[in-house]
């Protein structure tokens, strides 16, 4: 079964609005990565989070790793049309050595 | 550095046939992972190869197999194709482990008729 769940599955926003996607795991993760896949493209690495409670920022993107290391979020401030795509989280279980990709959140930005 | 390359980019096969997909990782990367991406199931891990050995395997039937060569290039094979095997097959390379940052190739779009 799916190890890592993401919500929402789809999100439509007006350009300039904020966007958040959430990633939840049933087990503790040693680290989590986020990827972005543009329509027709392939996943591209965005960031990795390792520490409990870690927060990292990349311009308008803010990534958080939960205190219990079972969840993570990606928040985009003031979305732009270039943000369109599907955002995936990928987690590694504490006892594992492979990634479990989340189900992805498809973001549409309406100009 | 050149990115991950995959060939062919598109493939059309019929049920029962077999197919071989190829992946060339980024120079210096020794770990190659394969994923199947479908609209309904998202990204599903197939297997990971490192130093010509399969190091991890996902939950796919034995019809899916792979190998890695001494130059780290990898191939995956799907035998006795089924309609449900239609998908985008992505290869990702990383330095030493699939839990490092993964760099994805453009994928091979397989359609089974």
Residue B43: closest C-alpha in chain A: A101
Residues near B62 by beta carbon (within 8 Å), at least 6 away in sequence:
none
Q: Does B43 reach chain A within 8 Å, measured CB to CB?
A: yes
Between A82 and B43, name the one with better pLDDT: A82
**C-alpha distance from A44 to closest chain B C-alpha (Å):** 7
8 A C-beta contact, residue B12 and residue B80: no
- Reported as type and span, the H/E element at residue A30 is strand A29-37
Q: Does B25 reach chain A within 8 Å, measured CB to CB?
A: no
Could you read off the pLDDT of B13-61 as tens digits, one per residue?
999 999 999 999 999 999 999 999 998 778 899 999 999 999 888 889 9
Could you read off the pLDDT of A50-75 as tens digits, one per residue?
999 999 999 999 999 999 999 999 99
Could you read off the pLDDT of B53-90 as tens digits, one per residue?
998 888 899 999 999 999 999 999 999 999 999 999 99
**Cα–Cα distance measured from residue B105 to residue A19, given in angstroms and rounded to the nearest whole number:** 27
Q: Does B26 reach chain A within 8 Å, measured CB to CB?
A: no
**C-alpha distance from B70 to closest chain A C-alpha (Å):** 22
Q: Which of B12, B17, B7 is nearest to B91 (CA)?
A: B7
């Amino acid at each position: 079964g799916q190890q890592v769940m993401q919500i929402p599955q789809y999100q439509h926003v007006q350009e300039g609005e904020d966007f958040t996607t959430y990633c939840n795991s049933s087990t503790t993760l040693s680290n989590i990565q986020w990827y972005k896949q543009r329509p027709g493209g392939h996943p591209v690495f965005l960031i990795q989070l390792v520490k409990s409670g870690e927060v990292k920022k990349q311009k308008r993107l803010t990534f958080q790793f939960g205190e219990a290391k079972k969840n993570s979020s990606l928040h985009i401030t003031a979305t732009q049309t270039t943000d369109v795509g599907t955002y995936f989280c990928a987690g590694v279980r504490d006892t594992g050595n492979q990634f479990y990709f989340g189900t992805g959140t498809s973001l549409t930005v309406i100009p | 550095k050149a990115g991950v390359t995959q060939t062919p980019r598109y493939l059309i096969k019929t049920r029962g046939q077999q197919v071989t997909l190829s992946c060339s990782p980024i120079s210096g990367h020794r770990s190659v992972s394969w994923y199947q991406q479908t609209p309904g199931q998202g990204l599903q891990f197939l297997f990971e190869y490192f130093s010509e050995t399969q190091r991890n395997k996902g939950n796919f039937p034995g019809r899916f197999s792979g190998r890695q060569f001494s130059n780290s290039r990898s191939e995956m094979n799907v035998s006795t194709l089924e309609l449900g095997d239609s998908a985008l097959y992505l290869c990702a390379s990383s330095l030493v482990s699939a839990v490092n940052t993964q760099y994805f190739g453009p994928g091979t779009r397989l359609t089974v008729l």
